[in-house]
Structure 1
């Protein structure tokens, strides 16, 4: 019994110390989160930020049409990879989202990143509703949009100075599409 009381006091003191240290860590994490939010820096940025200018690119679609970073109207830009499981899951929702005349074909640009042979089924599904470019992961489009993960769906618009700016970098496909005519 004489040993039990000092052991319980020691365990209690260790628990109190652990609680104080944990509260200190939580406080510091909150401070860092607030600093990151104030700086406008996203912690997990997988594509270009909203408001950023799109880098220059010049690509040719699988149908031989030339596309550049100059857009004349709001355009939906998507990046898929045929080896990406979430891309295969999201593809039908994307096709449904842009079909039905809500987005004209010339205002939907899809980049398929990966082996062209593996992309064949994606190309056939996307070709009727979008301009489709097939390129490697270090291609012009992936570099211009700073895409680091797939799938990525963005909206871009002209910036008034002859360039293109990102207006949304996380387009939700579960919401109805609204496009200007």
Structure 2
């Protein structure tokens, strides 16, 4: 009997400690769930540019020396933002290159923006410049700001539904069937 009371006290203390630790874990999981529920993660930036978002004015120079402004983008232009430091960008790059190469409008129907330092962006730029008008810019560049692109890769379709350049699709399927729908 003399051993039973201390044993029950130890089991009770361990139960209370376990309960406190479990409550702490539950609280932490709720915090993480809330962070993950915010589009774009802890920074709160949207992961995708919303359909209907108006594109700000911009003026940039392509890697080929062509001056490019928001007025130069027509209906159904596909705009893609890539970063050479992002693994999903490396996976999506070949699909975008194949898609853009098959556009009936040629390079005029696609704009590729490579966000990063010039030395690390060169491989992306060389692949993209053959099939799309390509701009290389540093983080926080004019095009990324005008399009409100915060995540990479971002592939958008833009048009002029109300005489103002706006996003008409924020999830562009990079397949031949999707390209055929654009051409029709």
Is TM-score (shorter-chain normalized) higher than 0.5?
yes
SS in 1 for 2:145: helix
* Alignment check: 8 A CA contact 1:159 1:165 kept: yes
The one-character-per-residue Cα deviations of 1:107-160 (angstroms, maximum 9, x if unpaired) are 100000001111111111111110000001111110011111111100000133
Show the counterpart of 2:7. none
TM-align CA RMSD: 3.5
Show the counterpart of 1:118. 120
SS in 1 for 2:93: helix
User: Once superposed, which parts of structure 1, at least 4 consecutive aligned residues long, lie more than 4 Å away?
Assistant: 41-44
Provide the rounded CA distance (Å) in 1 between the counterparts of 2:98 and 2:87. Answer: 18
- Count the aligned residue pairs: 174
Show the counterpart of 2:154. 152
Q: Which runs of 5+ in 2 are unaligned?
A: 1-37
Show the counterpart of 2:96. 94
Show the counterpart of 2:141. 139
Show the counterpart of 1:56. 57
Q: Which is helix-richer, 1 or 2?
A: 2
Show the counterpart of 1:4. none
Residue 42 (structure 1) shift: 5.8
Q: Which runs of 5+ in 1 are unaligned?
A: 1-40
* Alignment check: 8 A CA contact 1:109 1:132 kept: yes
Residue 176 (structure 1) shift: 2.6
Provide the rounded CA distance (Å) in 1 between the counterparts of 2:175 and 2:88. Answer: 15
TM-score (norm 1): 0.72
TM-score (norm 2): 0.71
